[in-house]
Amino acid sequence: MPKVTAMAHANLAFIKYWGKVDFKLNLPVNGSISMNLSSATTTTSVHFDGRLKGDTVILDGTELKPDDPRAAKVSAHLDRVRKLAEIDTSAKVETENNFPQGAGFASSASGFAALTVAAAGSAELTLDQKALSRLARAGSGSAARSIPAGFVEWLAGLDDHSSYAIQIAEPDHWDLRDVAVVVSDQEKAVPSTQGHKLVTNSPYWQARKNQVAHRLNRVTYAIKERKFDVFGQELEAEAMAMHAIALTSAHNNSNGTWTSGIYYILPDTLELMRAVQQWRADGLPVYFTLDAGPTVHLMCEAQHANQVQDAVRELQNDRDWQIIVSEPAGGARVIDG
């Protein structure tokens, strides 16, 4: 079978996927909306090869041990592809990310989107975008949204067939920028898969569920009509809503100790969140969102991106922050093979 290489972008959620109704199929409680990020990519090659005795996974140049949970997740995803293609051949998978993992860029999104497209290609399956998105979703929910290009909505659906992502608008529809400020490159303490399980522990969970349908409509409208302030206000309020749930998801840790909630926000994160309020008051149109990590994503229109970066650098002083600027990007695609 051919070796196929695919590339996919990470995506930034404007409306968050936070909570599942089905943990095996990754069926979300609510629909979500995102934009693919030009500067955050995963490139993955897959080669189903009859000579191999088992799957091998090479991540950023290092072969993962078979008992590494990441290798197990990749093999489980290859199993889904093998089932569809009716083969039992092992595969060699080589994958590289160009951005820090676990720090607020969902590496699982671009990772499973690229893996899905490369594996389907190597297994010589012909799948349309909907089928690829459904398949990617089973690997990691947010990966469903990295399949289509540009601005994307993941339709929550009711079952495996009806839960997949569609395009809202092409990448060139709206010249937005994500100025991502990576304030720490440490792995997050609570993986998002765990966070999804804890949402019902929050006493505010029902309120969030009631609010999200209206917010989906507002953000879709704001994207289609390019209404930046409507977009920004929903975006920022949504990030706070997700973190309000996380911060109030009390739980027992694996070591038996009790924690009042999940803290993804670091002191530098909070400083940036507060600075954004001041920058807006000073007339700079910029809003933030956060995922399950300390990275702050500052959203603005392209004409303000330099001013936003200048403001970040002034605040940064001599701290070790990394700024990564992205524009809306294309979907997951084969680049070789």
- Residues forming contacts to ligand DP6 in the complex (CB under 6 A) are 13, 16-18, 26, 32, 106, 108, 140-142, 192-193, 196, 291-292
Q: Report, in Å, the least distance between residue 73 CB and ligand DP6.
A: 9
Q: Say how many CA atoms lie within 13 Å of 217 toward its Cβ.
A: 3
Which lies closer to ligand DP6 via its Cβ, residue 3 or residue 70? Answer: 70
State both tokens at 223: 């994207």
Q: Report, in Å, the least distance between residue 215 CB and ligand DP6.
A: 13
Which residues on neighbouring strands pair with residue 166, listed in sequence order? 153
Closest CA to 37 of 105, 139, 137, 95: 105
Which lies closer to ligand DP6 via its Cβ, residue 136 or residue 311? Answer: 136
Closest CA to 32 of 101, 116, 129, 106: 106
- What Å distances lie between residue 124 and 118, 175, 324, CA to CA? 10, 36, 36
Give the strand pairing for 91-97 and 56-59.
parallel
Q: Report, in Å, the least distance between residue 32 CB and ligand DP6.
A: 5
Q: Report, in Å, the least distance between residue 64 CB and ligand DP6.
A: 17
Which lies closer to ligand DP6 via its Cβ, residue 4 or residue 149? Answer: 149
- CA-CA distance, 302 to 319, in Å (whole number)? 25
Which lies closer to ligand DP6 via its Cβ, residue 140 or residue 220? Answer: 140
Q: Report, in Å, the least distance between residue 303 CB and ligand DP6.
A: 27
Residues 42 and 60: beta-carbon distance below 8 Å: no
Which lies closer to ligand DP6 via its Cβ, residue 4 or residue 199? Answer: 199
- What Å distances lie between residue 162 and 25, 131, 136, CA to CA? 12, 10, 14
Q: Report, in Å, the least distance between residue 17 CB and ligand DP6.
A: 3
Q: What is the torsion angle, in degrees rounded to the nearest 10, for the CA atoms of residue 138, residue 127, residue 68 and residue 242?
A: -40
Which lies closer to ligand DP6 via its Cβ, residue 122 or residue 192? Answer: 192
- Residue 20 burial class via C-beta count within 10 angstroms: exposed 0-12, middle 13-18, buried 19 and up: middle
Q: Report, in Å, the least distance between residue 141 CB and ligand DP6.
A: 3
Which lies closer to ligand DP6 via its Cβ, residue 56 or residue 163? Answer: 163
